[in-house]
């Protein structure tokens, strides 16, 4: 598990998942990169890597492992794509996934003409967990934005109708959770599961095909009766998905088993 | 002592072969394709016995291995054997019978034939099939019995490198019951073998407790989207339902056969514990397959439910599991191909369910059990669409299981 070590005492679906995987006989190491690492020691010693926390550090680590032939969930290329908001948004557009009208600029000031048509949401190219995301209503606010490290993404702001829709895909299984934004309490973060509509299924399916994975999260805003995908996460927290840790462990266990020992297909049903 | 095992699968090698080897038999294995070739080359295999917490391995060596096409050599081996075991699946007994008849025709002394086929009538059926070829008088010299096996062997892994052993993975239980009335003297000794007078009751004891729970876990697990059986029984709702289904089965057994056969509550807990054994790698798909057979009139769900009804116990969870089976997505293997394909059943009118239950489970439309299963089918499926999976058994809340395979990784089926 390539991940940040969670806060002590906090509830973590990921740690619950790790507990289940260990209970089922998997040896699970947590690689948190909290200490200096000898680069020559970074090699694929494990059957499977799970890239849970995406930071520049874990991404570089995963990149080395990928180059050396490791099996990683999500794969290094998929995670890289998801971390580049410009690239992933264009891929979603090409896959007919509804996203807000989107622009890219090298400096926030270049976005000023867009405000003539209404507010925009400005995002750093490589941000995550909502960091650096800001709704901009007028040009003065653009001046207040910190100078970005790279390009900035601007998307047309769509006023939310009701709660956001979180779509979570675990091994091709799609779960929906309604959640208020911003969520303030733990109960609000858990949200409420809902039956995924055909329209949202299509969105998730097209997203999966576009980025080449079956493990991801989508943030969907409903506005004017239409859904807009506003974020893609290669390994979200899955909060609110019933039995999320169990479902994740089931998926990861299957993936790990497949990398270790492909089973003889001639199994006999004799006992049950 | 000499023994022949026909069928080099998980039960043939992992269970029967291991116990015969431990009991001192010179063992001849009859198999086909890659497994037989590999066994013949190496002359041994490894059995890993695990309860999920601990594991140990045993080597079964000194094997003679014959391909199923070597009929003359197989007949010679059977003719010289004290004991012959089959583990080929009930549907393949017809194909095995001529081979057995030819071999038993050469035998100069009584031979014991044990059919490890997980079918109540496997012993008598094999006796009949052989008798047609050999004549009943010559056949009656030999003992033919089925076997009730107390262990799961879910996996047979072919060696990936030359010189490696074929590996069988299963539970460490050795005990199996055979029908005392079907045997002939001298009875060859085998570790773990128990000859019982009430074989049918022993068979139903396993079917209506262990197998009923196993099937309940698989069908509800599939409905909720789990891949592995050990994951399905970690789901609190499913765990509760599995335990309750086995308790219903046990209540029926207690009324019909008494507490000695029905067992106690602690035994159900132990069975549930076994379902959580991840080391077996058992999948929901494997345990649940062959839906039509498993929904049969005397089978693990409908048979257990009927017995529970007769005992005055409402088979709520067994009926729910049977209803979930109707969403499993395959009705292959229906006897005589009589059952309609599942795709026609699932989205259609409850009348289609009634027809299926009549054709597959032998339940008359409108009978209490059929009505119970239909009600559960309607409740579980409210709002259901093809490709859905259920989030909770209590209310119709659906996730979507059809997001396709877009991963770049290989994955277990």
Q: To the nearest whole percent, how much of chain A has pLDDT over 70?
A: 93
Q: What residues contact B375, with CB distance under 8 A and at least 6 apart?
A: B319
A-B contacts (CB, under 8 Å): 168
Cα radius of gyration (chain B): 22
| Interface check B273 vs A, CB under 8 A | no
Instruction: Compute the half-sphere exposure of residue B166: CA atoms within 13 Å on the CB side of its CA.
Output: 27
Q: Which residues in chain A touch residue B117, judged by CB atoms under 8 angstroms apart? A: 270
Whether pLDDT at B224 is above 90: yes
Domains of chain B: 2-197 (3.40.50.720), 200-400 (1.10.1040.10)
CB contact burial A30-63 (16+ within 10 A = b; e otherwise): bbebeeeeeeeebebebbbbbbbbbeebbbebbb
Whether pLDDT at B334 is above 50: no
Task: Please state which architecture CATH assigns to domain A101-156.
Answer: 2-Layer Sandwich (3.30)
- Of all residues in chain B, the one with the smallest CA distance to A48 is B409
In 10 A of CB A242, how many CB atoms? 17
- Of all residues in chain A, the one with the smallest CA distance to B385 is A198
- Of all residues in chain A, the one with the smallest CA distance to B230 is A24
Query: Tell me, what DSSP letter sits at residue B364?
Result: P
* Interface list for A 19-48 with B (CB within 8 A): 20, 23-25
Residue B38 is predicted with a pLDDT of: 81
- Angle at which helices A198-211 and A85-94 cross, to 10°: 120
ipTM: 0.89
Which has more pLDDT, B412 or B396?
B396
Mean pLDDT of A101-109: 92
In degrees and rounded to multiples of 5, residue B135 shows phi and psi of 90, 140
B314-to-B206, B267, B393 alpha-carbon distances in Å: 20, 21, 19
CA dist B363 and B51 (Å) reads 38
Q: Which residues in chain B touch residue A81, judged by CB atoms under 8 angstroms apart? A: none
Which has more pLDDT, A66 or B166?
A66
Domain boundaries, chain A: 101-156, 160-242
Cα radius of gyration (chain A): 20
| Interface check B91 vs A, CB under 8 A | no
Structure tokens at A58: 């874990």
Q: Which of B7, B214, B403 sits opposite A174 (nearest CB)?
A: B403
Q: What is the 3-state secondary structure (H, E, C) of B33-91?
A: HHHHHHHHHHCCEEEEEECCCCEEEEEECCCEEEECCCHHHHHHHHHCCCEEEECCCHH
Burial environment of residue B174 by CB neighbours within 10 A (0 to 12, 13 to 18, 19 or more): middle
Residue B114 is predicted with a pLDDT of: 98
Mean pLDDT of A71-99: 95
CB contact burial B252-279 (16+ within 10 A = b; e otherwise): bbbebbeeebbbeeeebeebbebbbbbb
* Domain A160-242 grouped into CATH 3.30.930.10: no
Q: Record the pTM.
A: 0.89
Q: Quickly tell me which residue has 């019978």 as its tokens.
A: B97
Q: Quickly tell me which residue has 């069928």 as its tokens.
A: B7
Helices (H) and strands (E) in chain A, counts: 8, 11
In 10 A of CB B137, how many CB atoms? 8
Residue B325 is predicted with a pLDDT of: 93
- Of all residues in chain A, the one with the smallest CA distance to B237 is A243
Residue B395 is predicted with a pLDDT of: 86
| Mean of all residue pLDDT scores within chain A | 89
Q: What residues contact A31, with CB distance under 8 A and at least 6 apart?
A: A1, A2, A3, A58, A61
Burial environment of residue A223 by CB neighbours within 10 A (0 to 12, 13 to 18, 19 or more): middle
| Interface check A195 vs B, CB under 8 A | yes
**pLDDT tens-digit readout, B46-91:** 999 999 888 999 999 999 999 999 999 999 999 999 999 999 998 8
Residue B357 is predicted with a pLDDT of: 92
CA dist A159 and A226 (Å) reads 11
Q: Tell me if the bond preceding B186 is cis, omega within 30° of 0.
A: yes
* Interface list for A 63-92 with B (CB within 8 A): 71, 73, 75, 78
Q: Quickly tell me which residue has 């570089």 as its tokens.
A: A60
- Of all residues in chain B, the one with the smallest CA distance to A172 is B403
DSSP string of B143-181, one letter each residue: EEEEEEE---EEEEE--SSTTPPEEEEE-----EEEEGG
Least confident span in B30-44, B172-186, B250-264, B283-297: B30-44
Q: Quickly tell me which residue has 């109707």 as its tokens.
A: B326
Which has more pLDDT, B95 or B35?
B95
The answer to whether domain A101-156 and domain A160-242 are alike in fold is no
Beta A72-73 vs A49-50: how paired, if at all? parallel
Q: Which residues in chain B touch residue A78, judged by CB atoms under 8 angstroms apart? A: 408
Whether pLDDT at B11 is above 50: yes
CB distance A157 to A135 below 8 Å: yes
| Interface check A62 vs B, CB under 8 A | no
**pLDDT tens-digit readout, A167-205:** 999 999 999 999 998 888 888 888 999 999 999 999 999
In degrees and rounded to multiples of 5, residue B312 shows phi and psi of 85, 15
Q: Indicate the helix (H) or strand (E) that contains B260.
A: helix B259-262
**pLDDT tens-digit readout, A116-140:** 999 999 988 776 666 778 899 998 8
CA dist B200 and B192 (Å) reads 19
**pLDDT tens-digit readout, A12-41:** 899 999 999 999 999 999 998 888 889 999
C-alpha of A153 from chain center: 18
């Amino acid at each position: 598990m390539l991940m940040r070590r969670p806060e002590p005492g906090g509830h973590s679906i990921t740690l619950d998942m790790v507990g289940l995987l260990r209970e089922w006989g998997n040896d699970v190491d947590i690689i948190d990169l909290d200490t200096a690492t000898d680069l020559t020691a970074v090699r694929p010693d494990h059957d499977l890597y799970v890239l849970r926390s995406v930071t520049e550090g874990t991404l570089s680590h995963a990149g080395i492992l990928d180059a050396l032939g490791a099996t990683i969930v999500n794969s290094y290329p998929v995670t890289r794509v998801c971390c580049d908001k410009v690239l992933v948004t264009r891929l979603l557009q090409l896959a007919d996934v509804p996203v807000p009208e989107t622009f890219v600029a090298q400096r926030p000031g270049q976005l000023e003409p867009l405000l003539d048509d209404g507010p925009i949401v400005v995002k750093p190219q490589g941000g995550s967990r909502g960091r650096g995301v800001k709704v901009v209503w007028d040009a003065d606010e653009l001046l207040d934005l910190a100078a970005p490290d790279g390009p900035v993404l601007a998307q047309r702001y769509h006023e939310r109708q009701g709660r956001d829709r979180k779509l979570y895909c675990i091994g091709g299984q799609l779960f929906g959770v309604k959640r208020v934004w911003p969520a303030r309490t733990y109960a609000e973060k858990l949200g409420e599961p809902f039956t995924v509509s055909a329209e949202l299924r299509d969105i998730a399916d097209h997203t999966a095909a576009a980025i080449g994975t079956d493990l991801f999260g989508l943030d969907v805003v409903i506005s004017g009766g239409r859904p807009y995908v506003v974020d893609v996460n290669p390994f979200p927290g899955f909060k609110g998905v019933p039995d999320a840790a169990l479902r994740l462990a089931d998926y990861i266990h299957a993936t790990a088993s497949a990398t270790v020992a492909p089973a003889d297909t001639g199994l006999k049903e004799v006992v049950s | 002592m000499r023994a022949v095992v026909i069928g080099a699968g998980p039960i043939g090698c992992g269970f029967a072969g291991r116990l015969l080897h431990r009991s001192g038999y010179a063992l001849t294995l009859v198999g086909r394709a890659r497994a037989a070739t590999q066994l013949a080359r190496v002359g041994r295999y490894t059995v890993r016995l695990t309860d999920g917490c601990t594991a140990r391995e045993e080597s079964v060596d000194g094997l003679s291995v014959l391909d199923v096409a070597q009929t003359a050599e197989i007949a010679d081996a059977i003719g010289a054997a004290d004991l012959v075991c089959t583990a080929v699946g009930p549907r393949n007994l017809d194909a095995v019978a001529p081979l057995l008849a030819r071999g038993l025709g050469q035998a100069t002394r009584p031979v014991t034939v044990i059919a490890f086929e997980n079918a109540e009538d496997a012993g008598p059926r094999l006796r009949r099939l052989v008798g047609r070829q050999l004549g009943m008088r010559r056949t009656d010299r030999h003992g033919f019995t089925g076997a009730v096996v107390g262990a799961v062997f879910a996996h047979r892994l072919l060696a990936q490198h030359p010189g490696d052993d074929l590996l069988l993975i299963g539970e460490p239980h050795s005990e199996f019951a055979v029908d005392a009335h079907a045997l002939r003297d001298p009875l060859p000794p085998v570790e773990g073998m128990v000859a019982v007078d009430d074989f049918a009751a022993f068979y139903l004891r396993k079917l209506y407790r262990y197998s009923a729970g196993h099937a309940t876990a698989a069908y509800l697990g599939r409905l909720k989207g789990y891949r592995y059986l050990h994951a399905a029984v970690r789901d609190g709702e499913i765990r509760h339902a599995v335990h309750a289904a086995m308790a219903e089965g046990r209540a029926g057994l207690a009324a019909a056969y008494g507490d000695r056969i029905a067992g106690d509550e602690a035994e159900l807990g132990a069975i549930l514990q076994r379902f959580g054994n991840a080391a077996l790698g058992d999948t929901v798909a494997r345990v649940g397959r062959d839906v039509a057979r498993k929904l049969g009139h005397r089978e693990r769900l409908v048979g257990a439910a009927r017995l529970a009804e007769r005992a005055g116990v409402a088979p709520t969870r067994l009926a729910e599991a049977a209803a979930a089976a109707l969403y499993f997505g395959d009705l292959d293997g229906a006897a005589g191909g009589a059952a309609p394909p599942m795709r026609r059943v699932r989205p259609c009118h409850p009348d289609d369910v009634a027809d299926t239950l009549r054709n597959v489970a032998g339940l008359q439309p409108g009978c209490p059990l059929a009505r119970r299963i239909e009600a559960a089918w309607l409740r579980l499926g409210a709002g259901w669409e093809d490709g859905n999976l259920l989030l909770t058994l209590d209310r119709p809340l659906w996730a979507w299981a059809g997001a396709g395979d877009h991963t770049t990784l290989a994955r277990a089926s």
